[in-house]
Chains A and B, each alone.
Chain A
């Protein structure tokens, strides 16, 4: 697969790899994807209680070069944003920034999906990527992205 320099850069030097303390109340965790589909992404954000802004983010991804690059990029973009602003990020922006080939747009959707923490129907082209028993649907069993302290 001939990737752009940006994808290769994120792959060779991924930003913000890792995780936060599980017990931390200010951390929201989302996991999307399935091993059967060849893509699983875990994204964590640390929200500042005082400002309500995302002050840090971490990711771990099982997936192809595009998937890794998309997740790495997302962790850079969300820093300093509010939750609402972060959910505005579109997968097309990710795909454009990384110059992803059409067959890889799917991976950028995963990057965005974690923010939403919830499922929505994928466009048909991206859906063909999934294995037959993959069910598009509601949020991850590991909890929505909103950190505990913000859930009412």
Chain B
């Protein structure tokens, strides 16, 4: 889309806003700028109408009732509201939560905060393919468990959890289920009339909408209650106070409406591109796919290239914008905790690339990506003492490394 920048293969980080969405948003910034909460004049009434229309559009994509949608500033806030809001409201019923080690930081850090407040949290392991073991999940639910949080689609490896089964288990035990669906909307079918989910976090900017707006689905039947985290006016049925950003909300609604209309034709195209990328790269020796091969969204391909370090690979593939599970590319210098949770060794976590595709990815871009990755992996392996040892038949697991 912007010719002088690298080819964008980082759709799981964020997406460009669809131009059709931008066009619909702009008038609400300066022509129709009213506050949706202004009940006494036309500026407010029309803004309120736009907000309610967007609410219907968001609800429609996920099979919900518009009254179950609460606007927030994004999925991070929605996660905070869901976890803290439910834990606090139901604190007399129990103080135990269950979540998964591969959740987004917005969930994990919120759980840590709840632990500091006196709650107890179980962080479940996943299987090497990234999927939750349902028996292990069932075993973790206790009589004092109030809430479980399991993401629908993982942001790093793209695997899709069996939310229907997990939800059924929660229903049996009277445990609320929260699902972070930030990476799921527009990529998998979500129907909350069938899924036993009580709370669902949604965002706009992973579905070609603007950044800075999201929503929390809060089930009405059976009714889920939350303690508000943002106070000041009682907006959104008392669950989230603050003036609603009409233009942002219109953007999210429009993005979700487009997703609903276009998902059926878009998904086969994405699947074909994914296959093309996979075919091009799986021929390289010593590469590993991270995450279940089929129980996933086709938008994501996370691969480890053994004996090559991730940041040096990203430096080489200058024409591509991707991300890596390498420590070097994270602010904390720790390798990806998601890849570690899969049981991947540190070196494979350091050697990974996450490539995610989307609405504007083309075959030519995939072909360029395949070529440049192949070339750079080969070049870096020439530089790599580990590759040399592997070729000499040395078993690297037997080496006593002289650490610094």
Instruction: Name A's B-contacting residues (CB within 8 A).
Output: 1, 3, 8, 11, 14, 17, 19, 31-42, 60-65, 67-68, 103, 106, 109-110, 113, 119, 122, 128-131, 134-142
Contacts and interface: CB of A to CB of B under 8 A. Distances in A.
B284 interface: no
Main secondary structure of the interface of A (DSSP, over half): mixed
A31 B385 contact: yes
B404 A119 contact: yes
A141 B327 CA distance: 25
A119 B404 CA distance: 6
Contact of B402 (A8, A31, A68, A129): A31
A38 B383 contact: no
Given A14-B383, A63-B312, A64-B311, A32 B350 contact: no
A5 B244 CA distance: 46
Interface of B: 307-309, 311-312, 315-316, 326-329, 333, 335, 345-347, 350, 382-388, 396, 399-404
Closest 10 CB pairs of A and B: A140-B402, A34-B401, A35-B347, A42-B385, A36-B346, A64-B311, A60-B385, A64-B328, A38-B350, A141-B400
B345 to A, nearest CB: 7
Contacts of A142: 402
Nearest to B399: A141
Contact of A11 (B307, B312, B345, B401): B312
24 contacts: A1-B311, A3-B315, A17-B382, A17-B383, A33-B402, A33-B404, A35-B350, A35-B396, A35-B401, A37-B404, A38-B335, A38-B347, A39-B404, A40-B386, A62-B384, A62-B386, A62-B387, A63-B309, A65-B311, A65-B312, A113-B404, A131-B346, A135-B403, A141-B400
A35 B348 CA distance: 9
